Amino acid sequence: MVPSEAVTDRHKIVVVGGGAAGLELVTKLGNKYGKRGKAHITLVDRARTHIWKPLLHEVAAGSLDIGHHAIDYLHHAHANHFRYRIGEMTGLDRERRVIQLAASLDSEGREVTPMRTVPYDTLIMAVGSTTNDFGTPGVAEHAIALDTKEQAVRFHQRLVNGMLRAHTQEGPVRPGQLHVTVIGAGATGTELAAELHRTTREVASTGLDRIDPAKDLKITLIEAADRILPAVPQRLSAEVMGLLTKIGVEVRLKARVTEVRADGVQLADGGFIPSELVVWAAGVKGPAFLKDLGGLESTRNNQLVVLPTLQTTRDPDIFAMGDCAYLVDEGSGTPIPPRAQAAHQQASHLYGQIANKLAGKPLKPFRYRDFGSLVSLGEYTAVGNLMGFIQGKNMFIAGLFARLMYRSLYKMHETAVNGWWKTSLDALARALTRRTEPRVKLH
C-alpha cells in the first residue's frame, strides 16, 4: 500500500513545482496562512534546491557559481511555515483528491523516499516546461537542454573537459572539437551564445596555451525563423543581431535542423556544422505527465487548459500557472506566452485569489500585462524595450541601464522569496567573494 500524508482538518493547499512562480506563491501562502494555522501549505518538487531559471545559461557558460544562488527547499520551507515534500509527481486521483509521487533515489540508486500520495483541497500546478525537440533525431543522445540546473552543470563540465582534452591530446584540435552550436535563438539560446563567447576564451587563457581561441573556439547560433528573438520587437532583434555579429558569433537564420550527430549538426538544406558540443533551446512544451492527467483538459504541447481564473476547465479546485498553463488572453486573442513575467503575474494573482476561495467568494479573472523584453549579452551589454511606461509608448533601452534593469528582475525574485534584508546580505556576500574567485568556474 502506498503511504499517504497524515490528514488534517485545515484546508490543504498543495503547490507542485518550485520554480520562480511556485516558490514565490508558496512562500507567501506559508507566511500568511501556514504561520497562522489557517491552512496547511505544501510544496512538492523533485529537486532539493531552487535556482532562478533565467540564470541557467550563466551556469552553463561557467560565469555563475550555482552554489551561491541555490535556495534549499527544506530550509526555506521551515523558515516560511510550509512543508516541502521531495518527489516527482506521476499521477492525480481527483476522486480521492490526492497526487501520487514517485520514489526519490540518491546518486547511487538507493531509495531515499518511497512512492506515496499527498492529499489536497486546492491543487496548484506550477511545473513549468521542458524542451521540445520536435522529434528531431539525435537530440536526446547528443544535445543538452537547459531545463534544469543539473543539465546546465553537465554542459559546463562537458565544455571544460573538452577544452582540457584538446589541450593535452597529442594531435591538433580537430575541426568542430571545440565548436559549440546553440539551436534556437530565443532568449535562452541568444544569451547563452554571447556568454559562451566570453567564457570559453576566459578558460583558454588560464594556461591552456595549446588552444588558439581565434581558430579553435567557435560559437554558432541556429534559428529556423528569419530573425533571432522572433518573439520580441524587430528593433530589439536587429540590435542583438548586430552585437552578436560584432563579437564573432556566427548566426544561421532560416536554418532547420534535421539531425544532431556526435560530430555535428545536419541541416535541411544539406549543410553540416561540425560541432561536438550542442545545446538545444528551440522550443518548449509541458511535461509529458500532464497529458490527460486525471482527465484534465490539455493541449498538444501538454499544457493544462485553464479558465481566466486560472482554474482548470474540468476541476475548479485545481489551478495551473506559468509555462504549464494554457490561457488565451482576452485582449489580444493569443495564448499568454511562456515567459517569466507571465508566471510571476499569475503567482501574484493566485495569491490574492486564495483568500476569496477560502472564503467561498467568486474568483477574479487574470489579466496579463506585457512589460516588455530584456536580453542580456553578459558583460558585453544588454538591450530591451519597456512597454507602457511613458504615456503608453514603448521605450528602447541599451547598455548599462538595460543591464541594471535585467539584474533587477532577479533581485525582485529574490526579494519576493527571501525578503529585502536577506537579499541585500546575499548580494553583498557575492560581491565580496567574486573578488577572490576565478571570473569563470573551471570545474
Q: Which of 233-242, 362-371, 373-382 has the lowest mean pLDDT?
A: 373-382
- Give the tens place of pLDDT for each residue, 153-199: 999 999 999 999 999 999 889 989 999 999 999 999 999 999 999 89
For residues 376, 196, 413, 36, the Cα torsion angle rounded to the nearest 10 degrees is 170
Contacts of 196 by beta carbon, 8 Å cutoff, 6+ apart? 60, 61, 159, 180, 182, 219
**What's the pLDDT band for 376 if we cut at 50, 70, 90?**
confident
pTM: 0.91
**Average pLDDT of span 350-370:** 94
**What's the pLDDT band for 381 if we cut at 50, 70, 90?**
confident
- Give the tens place of pLDDT for each residue, 295-346: 999 999 999 999 999 999 999 999 999 999 999 988 788 899 888 899 999 9
* Residue from 245, 166, 163 nearest 202 by CA: 163
Identify the pLDDT of residue 393: 64
Identify the pLDDT of residue 432: 77
For residue 288, pLDDT over 60 is answered with: yes
CB of 326 closer than 8 Å to CB of 333: no
For residue 370, pLDDT over 90 is answered with: no
Identify the pLDDT of residue 5: 65
For residue 390, pLDDT over 70 is answered with: no
**Residues comprising the chain, all counted:** 443
Please give the backbone phi and psi of residue 262, each rounded to the nearest 5 degrees, phi first: -65, -25
Q: Mean pLDDT for the chain?
A: 90
For residue 418, pLDDT over 80 is answered with: yes
DSSP 14-74: EEE--SHHHHHHHHHHIIIIITTTSEEEEEEESSSEE--GGGHHHHHHTSS-GGGT-EEHH
Strand partners, 267: 257
